[in-house]
Structure 1
Amino acid sequence: MSTTKETLAMPGVRRLLLARLVSNLGNGMAPIALAFAVLESKDGSASKLGILLSVQAVAMVLFLPLGGIWADRHRRPTIIATTDFILGLDLLVTAYLFWSEQTGMPLLIALSIFAGFLNAFWSPAFPGLVPLVVEEEHLQQMNGFVSIASNIGYISGAAVAGLLVSAFGGAAGIAGDALSFLLAASLVWKLRHRHKVAEPSGESMFHELKSGWKVFLSFRWVVVAVAGF
């Protein structure tokens, strides 16, 4: 049975935990920062905020099957680091638009859709990252550590966002969110040499995607649940 000391001493463990803490710090900041930024902007409204959140969620759901296939075929650390980095840039642009009061909906919607697209690739890749860092006997304990780091990061992110937006406005909160993802990307990038790619199935990516959608559509209750989301 693995001990806490043994698990934390393994190469890459502390870096991964810090990356998860920092990344989820940004996730905790995101809804508060965006809400304040939208409502502070000219013509800002709850409906405008709802549209931005909705298009991001829809984009993520639509591209999630593709993200899952991509995660099985490519290096997960590289996927996570790349999506975190690009998402950080996406958020920096968003922060600048709010700061400069260039808050036209078409561009904000495009940035939100792109963020959802990136999350669709990040989400399937992350669960498979932990087994690349620790041995099987340490997995259960490491998953617990990741969960703790995630929760601490999310709760702390909400508090940090509250301080930032109250002192400097919503755009500053989004900029802080962006920096958290850029830092997380740099941490995970150092783990890129650790990878395990699934054995090729012999099927093309398009065929796998088509098969996955058929399975998804065959479960009506799942379709209804996703549509409701």
Structure 2
Amino acid sequence: MTLPESTRALIANRPFVTLLAARTLAMLGMAFSPVALAFGILRLPGADAGTLSLVLVAQTAPMVVFMLVGGVIADRYPRAVVMLTGQAMSALGWGSIGLMMLLGYAPVWLLCLAAAVAGTAGAATYPALNGIIPDLVPQAHRQQANAWLGMGASTARLVGLVSGGAVVVLVGGGWAMVVAASTYLAAGLFTLALPRVKGSLADAAENPLRQLREGWREFRSRQWLWVAVLQWSVMNMMLQAAHGVFGPVVAEHELGGAGVWSMLLAAEAVGALVGVTIALTWKPQRPILTATLVILPSGVPALLLGASTPVPLIALAFFVLGIGFELFGVWWLTTMQAEVPPESISRVSSYDALGSLMLGPVGLALAGPATVAFGVHPALIGAGVISTLTALLALLSPDLRRLRARHPATVEVSGVVAAA
């Protein structure tokens, strides 16, 4: 069987293969974290949905607050170094939580502090990852590169969710958190081998605040970009509450606990594998329009959980969700890498992440009170309805509907990629 030319080129690209290994290992650690953290905390003496909400807010809020700083840093300094720093912080944060759970000393304030360290790491790694891909991969192969990164992430997510859930059931959340921390350390070893590319970076001597304003101009000048980010901001608020708090609470009290919840998340990961497989070859002419259409079912899993439908039907909804999310992710990253100048892409990515994630902590903070005020099932249904409506509203943007894919020629210069 002859491999496609783009696949052969990526296999021969040693820096990309190294990045793929590092990213996959980091995602494996990330996949262990949600189940271990949620059920580890819910099983602590005196803990409830409010406790879980507080720790998750402590994780996500610093990521939002420091995202713009991370974008500036990732455009000024070698992105491999920025990624390595983030991986070390993730290992420290999740490892500390695991040790607290194993030692039986887990005060809420200390859990929140460790979660905040792990959350701050995301503010560094996300903009750096989006910026380093154009540094390592020619533009003609970037959709395939993004899809392969998604494939690795989805595979790691599936393995992590299944094995993480098993570890939680067998020996508890503490050991699962320790395993998550160790995979971040392994990812860091691969990241050490990445080249320190500087040619695509902004001037490190320039005023950081000016660079931040330049990044904002690049962001707001593209209607398709900020409309989609607004949509994801609201949708993430709903999904963070539904999948971070409401879902685990329903699973713990009605569906059988961590094993069933891990199975549902694994169904989403399997769907993600299907999604990135499709993305390897499907290149829509209007990528952002198509991406928005495929995530219209985003609220269905929450609706089905809220309606107490059978678990297999809920799993099917999570599977479809995984397909849509991965297709959106690949097309989104590829479009950004084609439309945004390389020296600004990490800053624009940080505005993207800030806008998309900024309401996530709000959703998590309100999840506990909403469970008390309305009940977990009505809250899930409300979250599902709002998630779907936001995707429909995004389609009103003319720029989002009309944007067409670019296919410019590229050349490779000493391992660094530049537009021809």
Verify same fold: TM over 0.5.
yes
Distance 1:37 1:211, change over 3 A: same
Alignment of 1:7-18 (within 5 A): 7-18=10-21
- State the match for 1:122 in structure 2: 125
Question: Structure 1 CA distance, aligned partners of 2:96 and 2:183?
Answer: 15
Q: Deviations over 1:59-111 (max 9, x none)?
A: 11111111111110011011101210221122211111111111111111111
- State the match for 1:109 in structure 2: 112
What TM-score does the superposition give when structure 2 sets the normalisation length? 0.50
Residue number among 170, 182, 186 corresponding to 1:183 in the alignment: 186
- Asked if the contact 1:33/1:165 (under 8 Å) is kept, the reply is yes
Q: Residue type of the partner of 1:156?
A: V
Residue number among 85, 89, 96 corresponding to 2:99 in the alignment: 96
Question: Structure 2 CA distance, aligned partners of 1:127 and 1:186?
Answer: 20
Distance 1:9 1:216, change over 3 A: closer
- State the match for 1:72 in structure 2: 75
Distance 1:86 1:55, change over 3 A: closer
- State the match for 1:167 in structure 2: 170
- State the match for 1:62 in structure 2: 65
Question: Structure 2 CA distance, aligned partners of 1:228 and 1:168?
Answer: 34
Shift of the alpha carbon at 1:186? 0.9
Shift of the alpha carbon at 1:14? 2.1
Residue identity over aligned pairs, in percent, reads 25
1:43 aligns with 2:51: no
- Asked if the contact 2:98/2:174 (under 8 Å) is kept, the reply is yes
Q: CA RMSD in A?
A: 2.7
- Asked if the contact 1:92/1:174 (under 8 Å) is kept, the reply is yes
Distance 1:194 1:2, change over 3 A: farther
Alignment of 1:132-211 (within 5 A): 132-200=135-203, 203-209=206-212
Shift of the alpha carbon at 1:207? 4.1
- Asked if the contact 2:79/2:196 (under 8 Å) is kept, the reply is no
Question: Structure 1 CA distance, aligned partners of 2:204 and 2:32?
Answer: 40
- State the match for 2:343 in structure 1: none
- State the match for 2:416 in structure 1: none
For structure 1, the residue ranges without an aligned partner over 5 or more in a row are: none
Segments of 4+ in structure 1 off by > 6 A? 210-217
Alignment of 1:1-12 (within 5 A): 2-12=5-15
Question: Structure 2 CA distance, aligned partners of 1:51 and 1:214?
Answer: 34
Question: Structure 1 CA distance, aligned partners of 2:73 and 2:173?
Answer: 34
Q: Deviations over 1:104-146 (max 9, x none)?
A: 1111111112222111111111012222222333222212211
Larger radius of gyration: 2
Q: Deviations over 1:22-76 (max 9, x none)?
A: 1111111111010121122222222111111112212111111111111100110
Structure with the greater relative contact order (CA < 8 A, sep ≥ 6): 1 or 2?
Answer: 1
Question: Structure 2 CA distance, aligned partners of 1:35 and 1:70?
Answer: 31
Residue number among 81, 85, 98 corresponding to 2:84 in the alignment: 81
